C-alpha cells in the first residue's frame, strides 16, 4: 500500500520539512520527537494512488509535511462523497479513531499529489499519547478541528441546495487554478450524482456564468457565482 523510502537521511530531511509544516513541533521536546522518529518510516506514494482502502487495518499514524490526500466514502450504491482533505502538517481523524478503537478504516484515502509522509507505528503512537502532553494536544486538537469541518460538510449536504454547493465548489476550484475536472469529480465533492451536476452546470452555462469543455469547467461570471454561493463559500 505504501512504499517505504527508508530511514537515515530521508527521515532527517523529512523532520526538517515537518517542523516547517507543523508549527506545533517548535514547542515539542527534542527527546519526544526523537522517540517518535526512532521507529517511524518515511513512506512515499504517487499521485492518484490509494493510501488506504475501506476495511484496512490502521497500522500507523501518518503526518504529511506537504502534498494532499483526499478522504472519501463510497456508499453501497456506488455513490462517492469527499469527506475532507489532509494538507501539509495534517493527519487523518479516521486513522486516529481507528488507532484508538482498534477498528478498521471506514473510508478511502487517495493521494491527490505525489506525497512523502512520516508513518508512526501504532506502538510509538500509543506510547507518545500516554507520555507526552504535547503529542496528545497535537493529536486531539487536529481531531476536534477536523471533526468540526466534517460536521459542517454533512450539514451542507443535508440542508444546502445543490446549486449553492456547486457554486462553492466552483469558486474553490477557481481559487486553486483548477479548470480540468470532470462532472463525476465534482459530483464526488458534492456527494451527489453526476447527472445532477451536469444538469446544473448546463444551466450555469446557459446563464453565461461558466464555460464547459471536455473535462473542463471555466468561470466566466465570478460575481454571479459568488452571489449564488453566498458569504460562507467566499475566499
Does one domain contain both 186 and 223?
A: yes
- Do 145 and 202 lie in one domain? The reply is no
pLDDT, mean of residues 136-164: 88
Q: How confident is the model at residue 232 (pLDDT cuts 50, 70, 90)?
A: low
For the chain, where are the alpha helices, taking DSSP H only? 9-21, 30-38, 93-101, 122-131, 133-159, 162-175, 183-190, 194-206, 222-229
Which range marks the domain in which residue 207 is found? 161-233
61 falls in which pLDDT band (50, 70, 90)? very high
Q: Per the structure, how many domains does the chain have? A: 2
All residues at 6 or more sequence positions from 131 whose CB lies less than 8 Å from its CB, including other chains = 32
- Are residues 133 and 29 part of one domain? yes
* Residue that finishes a domain, picked among 108, 124, 158: 158
Shared domain check, 221 and 122: no
pLDDT tens figures, 160-198: 999 999 999 999 999 888 888 999 999 998 989 999 999
Residue scoring higher pLDDT (232 or 59): 59
pLDDT of 200: 97
Decide if pLDDT at 8 tops 70. Answer: no
Quickly state the pLDDT bin for 1 (edges 50, 70, 90): very low
Which pLDDT does position 67 carry in this prediction? 87
Lowest mean pLDDT among 6-10, 51-55, 76-80, 207-211: 6-10
User: Are 120 and 223 part of one and the same domain?
Assistant: no
218 shares a domain with 179: yes
Asked which of 17-26, 40-49, 109-118 is least confident by mean pLDDT, the reply is: 17-26
Please tell me the least confidently modeled range out of 2-6, 44-48, 119-123, 205-209. 2-6
Same domain for 180 and 153, yes or no, is: no
Same domain as 177, residue 93: no
Residue ending a domain, among 143, 158, 173, is: 158
Average pLDDT, stretch 5-25? 62
Tell me, yes or no, whether 100 and 185 share the same domain.
no
- What CATH number is associated with residue 96? 2.60.120.10
Question: Which residue among 128, 158, 188 closes a domain?
Answer: 158
**CATH code where residue 199 lies:** 1.10.10.10
**In Å, what is the CA distance from 7 to each residue of 1, 10, 31, 61, 191?**
18, 6, 18, 17, 39
153 plus 167 within the same structural domain = no
Q: Is the pLDDT of residue 97 over 80?
A: yes
Residue 204 and residue 163: Cα distance in Å, rounded? Answer: 9
Say whether both 116 and 12 belong to one domain.
Answer: yes
Q: How far, in Å, are 10, 94, 119, 144 from residue 107 at the CA level? A: 29, 8, 19, 18
Amino acid at each position: 500500500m505504501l512504499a517505504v523510502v527508508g530511514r537515515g537521511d530521508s527521515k532527517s530531511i523529512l523532520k526538517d520539512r515537518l517542523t516547517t509544516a507543523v508549527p506545533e513541533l517548535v514547542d515539542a521536546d527534542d527527546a519526544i520527537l526523537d522517540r517518535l522518529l526512532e521507529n517511524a518510516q518515511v513512506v512515499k506514494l504517487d499521485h492518484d494512488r490509494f493510501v488506504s482502502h475501506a476495511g484496512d487495518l490502521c497500522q500507523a499514524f501518518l503526518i504529511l509535511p506537504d502534498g494532499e490526500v483526499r478522504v472519501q466514502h463510497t456508499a453501497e450504491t456506488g455513490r462517492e462523497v469527499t469527506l475532507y482533505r489532509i494538507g501539509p502538517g495534517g493527519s487523518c481523524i479516521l486513522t486516529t479513531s481507528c488507532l484508538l478503537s482498534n477498528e478498521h478504516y471506514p473510508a478511502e484515502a487517495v493521494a491527490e499529489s505525489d506525497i512523502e509522509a512520516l508513518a508512526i507505528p501504532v506502538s510509538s503512537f500509543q506510547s507518545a499519547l500516554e507520555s507526552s502532553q504535547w503529542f496528545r494536544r497535537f493529536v486531539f486538537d487536529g481531531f476536534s478541528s477536523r471533526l468540526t469541518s466534517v460536521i459542517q460538510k454533512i450539514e451542507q449536504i443535508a440542508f444546502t441546495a445543490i446549486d449553492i454547493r456547486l457554486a462553492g465548489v466552483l469558486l474553490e476550484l477557481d481559487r486553486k487554478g483548477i479548470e480540468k475536472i470532470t462532472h463525476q469529480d465534482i459530483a464526488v465533492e458534492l456527494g451527489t450524482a453526476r447527472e445532477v451536476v451536469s444538469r446544473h452546470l448546463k444551466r450555469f452555462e446557459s446563464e453565461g456564468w461558466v464555460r464547459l469543455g471536455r473535462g473542463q469547467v471555466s468561470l466566466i461570471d465570478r460575481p454571479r457565482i459568488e452571489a449564488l454561493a453566498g458569504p460562507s463559500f467566499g475566499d
